[in-house]
Amino acid sequence: MAGIKDSSRGGFSNKIGFVLAAAGSAVGLGNIWKFPFEVSDGGGGAFVVMYLAFCFMLCFPVMMAEVAIGRKTNKNAVGAFTENGHKAWSALGKLGVLTGILILSFYNVVAGWALGFAIEMFAGNFELGQNFGAFIGNWQLNLVFSSIFMVVTIYIVAKGVSGGIEKASKILMPSLLILILSLMAYSLTQEGAIDGVIYYLVPDFNAITFETAYGAMGQAFFSLSLGMGALITYGSYVGKKDNIVTSTTMILLTDVGIAFIAGLMMFAFVFSQGLQGQGGGAGLIFTVLPGAFESIGPVLGRVIGGFFFVLLSFAALTSTVSLLEVPVAYVVDEYEVRRERTVWIVGLGIFLLGIPSMLGNGTVPFFTEFVQYSSSENPVSFMDFIEDMASDTFLPLGGFLISVYTAWVWRGDNFKKEVEIGNPGFGDSLIGKYTIFALKYLAPFILGSITVITILSKFFGIHILGA
Ligand code: TRP
């Protein structure tokens, strides 16, 4: 039982348990809901290229750093820094806890949509795609779906790490992959699909701006569950014999692979239905997919559509579990309170925080037109604002600080030593050398500059470098 280090905190039963749970955290609404509409907002193929570059070149090193910090210290996202002898840096962990709380508050609302869509697809309500606005504006219904979702999340987290998270991931993740692959194959047979594939795969480099780079960077962190200590927390449950490099590689490839396939499928459907250029925003998959399921046939379409949203809901569940685990592990470790009660209090608090996101889809004007950025014409909703703050700004900021911390404060050599337990020779390998270089220079420079430049232009209207 290599993975279990401290039975009172729980632990993964073995290496594959950690990889599955971390991949379960990574794969979620970010891959299937968020990625396609971000690609669409970001101008297609150019966004995809930037996203892939961020994932492989910057997020991969940051991911290893998070897991190594977690395993070294055996602590939660906040306590890890104190344990490592750098108490001041626990503020970074606190930023992570706050970010996780913010993300979960809106994520849970979208997860509720997925649940609602599952029921509606089984019922054969294919018109729901055109009625998406009315669906999300029906707050009573959304309140029901998202409370169901939060209660299930709380229930799983309350049971502890290995009991709930591992078991669910093992069956459902592969099922989701098979279903998306089949849908992708089907989507490519549709008339006009090829234009979607071209839009998705052939980059128009004129579409690259600082704002799209910022979006791609945020998306990469969001999709990989990175930049807020979720993987510090999960890493704290990993055994010393495990190989951090191969584990993180598997998580990365699974997550990016699923996003990539989901994107391909989506744009084939979008173009074959003639819906391109409509700026679907956060509603993209919900407006496009019902029509695609309808085209499969009245009965089969219901079954496949229903299962698709059931599996999407489960993928979201393994992600909400990891988001809730971060603040809970922090409170339980640091304040030595009972896990069960903490989970309920924190979970319900986050649920309440999500209510303005729910009401900001047409129900309450104040939340629907919440802020006006200098860079855009229309005001954005409460949910979009929280999403911009938490996922596009705080996650890369967290990634920036984690890189600086690992390379310069904890120091590259100590990081290397930790990874070498379970992977001797890491320091001399090409990956090892690149990782240290990326954490020292590349990640701080790129993440730092894109974040600063975009925040100035997007929120303050100050344009440097023509951004
Ligand atoms: N990665 C998940 C998704 O793509 C969302 C998520 C779960 C997350 N845990 C996280 C994002 C931690 C950031 C940080 O749906």
- C-alpha span between 242 and 239 (Å, rounded): 6
Q: Are 222 and 386 in contact (CB under 8 A)?
A: no
- C-alpha span between 7 and 275 (Å, rounded): 53
Give the whole-number percent of the chain exceeding pLDDT 90: 72
**C-beta 320 within 6 A of ligand 1:** no
DSSP symbol at 45: H
**C-beta 153 within 6 A of ligand 1:** no
Q: Ligand 1 centroid vs 394 CA: distance in angstroms?
A: 13
Q: Are 235 and 66 in contact (CB under 8 A)?
A: yes
Q: Ligand 1 centroid vs 192 CA: distance in angstroms?
A: 33
Nearest CA to ligand 1 atom 4: 30
Q: What is the pLDDT of residue 8?
A: 46
The residues that bridge with 380 in the sheet, in sequence order, are 371
Q: What is the pLDDT of residue 371?
A: 87
Confidence of residue 457 (pLDDT cuts 50, 70, 90): confident
Q: What is the pLDDT of residues 430-450, one digit of tens each?
A: 999 999 999 999 999 999 988
Q: Are 244 and 67 in contact (CB under 8 A)?
A: yes
Q: What is the pLDDT of residues 57-80, one digit of tens each?
A: 999 999 999 999 999 999 999 999
Flag whether pLDDT at 186 surpasses 50: yes
- C-alpha span between 352 and 130 (Å, rounded): 29
**C-beta 254 within 6 A of ligand 1:** no
Q: What is the pLDDT of residues 92-111, one digit of tens each?
A: 999 999 999 999 999 999 99
Q: What is the pLDDT of residues 256-277, one digit of tens each?
A: 999 999 999 999 999 999 888 7
The residues that bridge with 371 in the sheet, in sequence order, are 380
Q: Rounded to 5, what percent of the chain is helix, strand, coil?
A: 80, 0, 20
Flag whether pLDDT at 3 surpasses 60: no
pLDDT higher for 207 or 289? 289
Confidence of residue 6 (pLDDT cuts 50, 70, 90): very low
The model's pTM: 0.93
**C-beta 256 within 6 A of ligand 1:** no
Q: What is the pLDDT of residue 116?
A: 97
Nearest CA to ligand 1 atom 10: 225
**C-beta 230 within 6 A of ligand 1:** yes
Instruction: Give the phi and the psi of residue 321 in degrees, each rounded to 5.
Output: -60, -45
- C-alpha span between 227 and 98 (Å, rounded): 12
Give the whole-number percent of the chain exceeding pLDDT 70: 93
Element (H, E) at 321: helix 298-335
Confidence of residue 1 (pLDDT cuts 50, 70, 90): very low
Confidence of residue 168 (pLDDT cuts 50, 70, 90): low
**C-beta 103 within 6 A of ligand 1:** yes
Nearest CA to ligand 1 atom 11: 225
**C-beta 323 within 6 A of ligand 1:** yes
Mean pLDDT for all residues in the chain: 90
Structure tokens at 49: 């290229």
- C-alpha span between 404 and 441 (Å, rounded): 9
Q: DSSP states of 121-151 as a string?
A: HHTT-GGGGTTHHHHHH-HHHHHHHHHHHHH
Q: Ligand 1 centroid vs 226 CA: distance in angstroms?
A: 7
